[in-house]
Amino acid sequence: MQTFETDGSRLVWRGDGETLVVEPWGHDSLRVRSALKGEVVDADWALLPAVDTGTARVEIDGDVARLHHGAITAVLEQESWLHDPIGRTRFFCRVTFLDAAGQVLLRETSRGGSLDLTARWLRPLPGADLQLTASFDAVEGEKLYGMGLYQQPVLDLKGCTLELAHRNSQASVPFVLSSAGYGFLWHNPAIGRATFAANRTEWTSESARQLDYWVTAGPNPAAILRSYADATGHVPMMPERGLGFWQCKLRYWNQAQLLEVAREHVRRGLPLDVIVADFFHWPHMGDYRFEEEFWPDPAAMVAELTELGVDLMVSVWPQVALASENHDHLRKNGLLVRAERGVDVQMMFEGPSVFLDVTDPRARTWLWETLRRNYADYGVRTFWLDEAEPEYGVYDFDAVRLHAGPGSQVGNIYPQAFSRAVWEGQQGDGVGDAVNLVRCAWAGSQRYGALVWSGDIASTWPALRAQITAGLHMGVAGIPWFTTDIGGFHAGDSTDPAFHELLVRWFQAGAFMPVMRLHGDRLPYEEVTAADGSRRLRSGGPNELWSFGDEVYEILARFVRLREALRPYLREVMAQAHTEGQPVMRPLFVEFPDDAACWDAADQWLLGADLLVAPVLEPGARARAVLLPAGARWTCLRTGEVLDGGQVVVRDAPLGTLPVFARDGALPELIGRL
């Protein structure tokens, strides 16, 4: 019997109805797929078509096959034995990945002798679907990073279990980087779970058509991240308006109010790149247009903002209210997500609604044509794609069906498709400098100009700390454009001195994040009514730089101006993200992998390669410890003092400033600006 088949550099094993395919997929990278009772399919959820580098070679020696491809080798080992409990021969194939030196990077779990385990467990469900579990031996001493955005302060994910599902303030991006020298993408948009336990690593999917994952090897984190970006797509070059300050609140509820805020920025000499018209500027969700009473002349509004040097960003929700003027058209043509059972209402916020099915190419085309007619034709070129998880009223993912498949099988692709709809529409219309804010992402979202923010988080100190690790993990997971609601979203009181301190510290951190954006649903609230006395969604309290008192204003204004001074440097960092696939907000180990302490630094980061940022994350704190990585000298931007790396120092941090250090003499023009 032939143990393995080859097709060029493609290696195939068959046994007990399983077809296992291992093949090169980008530099130093391999893709593994497995199907039951059929051939594997070329699902393109996140991976781009493979580039044939011509370096792969296959060696077969009886029951062992090796696929060598640059810095990575896959070893496939078949076992066959007479299995007495079932009275027939069984066939098993174990896959091991080696690095360039022949050391084990990752290995599927063994059969375990009498335990009779299965590393690739493909359990048939009714129909053609499978429930999947892929199991790997734990790698001793490894540390793990990436996986997207979860609301927790943990940096090293070893020992964690993570839901593979999106929620408001959670974005599952199933790529993990290991300190052992590999990167792993679970190429499957199904609802599931990843467990990085002490005894094994397991990836599960509730429903799938095949097992599908991608592995890469590299000498350092930067090389691994570059290969991952090559495989799933590089982020575009960040437009100029993404480098400055963005002003937002829940919500400017009329045209005059929004324009007055932009004019006040100009009067005060405060830099401002983007101002936001938030949700419910429309009559009903799914209308995708301004309500005339409150926004009487969008074209004039955009024209004045342009004259002021400010871009308008407009909120777009994927919800379509049952009362929307577009609902019946979308329902008739099958362009809405459909409930599998029961009454087809998927959310009740401000009335019953359902979600546009952006996994359907026809729905994506319809969405952009509507946005073009009602926004882009007025000059709007920046969109806020809210609710992108999507945020079902109840997260019963198996209760919905999309064009791409059942919700439990494909649900995680939704935010990527939402970004894709607007990006491809803009590109088709010649908008070459697109950036769109989106509340969720999946692998590959970055190539569609997705700027991901961390959702509706609390206005608390623990929430601030959690956004640091969220941003670091998102960068490692291949999403370089990241931001948060500065000050948190929920219930910060603009009149409360305790909130003022939190806001100041968050604002300082935000000045050194990929995008600096002030947003929140502040107290006290403001009720809104139409001219006929009918209710509209309320507005939050004041959230402008001058809304929190003179002392706070002076600090915030200084950091907005500092952000403007960072623009040339940020442009260079964004170019590195675009061309090299590197995070903008980087964990220290990306630049300093040889300093063991850098793999555990969860409360500071590098903005690009040259700025070390250590925000204050505790109320009342006026100093903090800072790790200075070994292998560089560090200049304090506040004092100009130069310190050797490889040490922890304690630095003063009065309310008006935070510790920031420049690497090896970089950015001398910023000394004294803090």
Q: Is 167 helix (H, G, I), strand (E, B) or coil?
A: strand
Non-local (6+) Cβ contacts of 413 within 8 A are 45, 189, 359, 404, 442
Contact 649, 659 (CB under 8 A): no
Catalytic site positions: 386, 389, 456
Q: Is 203 helix (H, G, I), strand (E, B) or coil?
A: strand
| Tally: H helices and E strands in the chain | 12, 43
SS (H, E, C) 305-334: HHHHCCEEEEEECCEEECCCCCHHHHHHCC
Taking the CB of residue 388, how many other CB atoms lie within 10 A of it?
30
Amino acid at site 193: R
Residues 403, 399: Cα–Cα separation, whole Å: 14
Q: At which residue do the structure tokens 């209710």 appear?
A: 535
Residues 114, 418: Cα–Cα separation, whole Å: 48
Starting from the edge strand earliest in sequence, which strands make up the sheet with 585-586, in order?
585-586, 605-607, 611-613, 660-663, 633-636, 642-644
400-417 exposure pattern, b = at least 16 Cβ within 10 A, e = fewer: bbbbbbbbbbbbbbbbbb
* Apex 447 CA angle, 445 and 453, nearest 5: 45
Q: Where are the alpha helices (DSSP H) in 377-496?
A: 407-410, 414-428, 461-476
Q: At which residue do the structure tokens 């194939």 appear?
A: 93
Residues 471, 458: Cα–Cα separation, whole Å: 16
Residues 211, 32: Cα–Cα separation, whole Å: 8
Non-local (6+) Cβ contacts of 568 within 8 A are none
Contact 282, 288 (CB under 8 A): yes
Residues 669, 610: Cα–Cα separation, whole Å: 13
Query: Up-side HSE of residue 41: CA atoms within 13 Å toward CB?
Result: 10
Identify the DSSP state of 533: S
* Apex 431 CA angle, 429 and 432, nearest 5: 130
Q: 314: which 2 tokens? A: 């407009």
Cα-based torsion angle of the residue sequence 462, 468, 469, 470 in order, rounded to the nearest 10 degrees: 100
Non-local (6+) Cβ contacts of 441 within 8 A are 148, 149, 171, 173, 388, 415, 416, 419, 450, 452, 474, 479
**Does the bond joining 668 to the residue before it have cis omega, within 30 degrees of 0?**
no
Cα-based torsion angle of the residue sequence 514, 518, 522, 527 in order, rounded to the nearest 10 degrees: -120
Q: 335: which 2 tokens? A: 């362009």
Contact 307, 313 (CB under 8 A): no
Residues 347, 630: Cα–Cα separation, whole Å: 51
Neighbouring-strand partners of residue 64: 61, 77
Sort strands 311-316 and 72-83 into parallel, antiparallel or unpaired.
unpaired
> Which secondary-structure segment (H or E) carries 31?
strand 29-36
Identify the DSSP state of 174: E
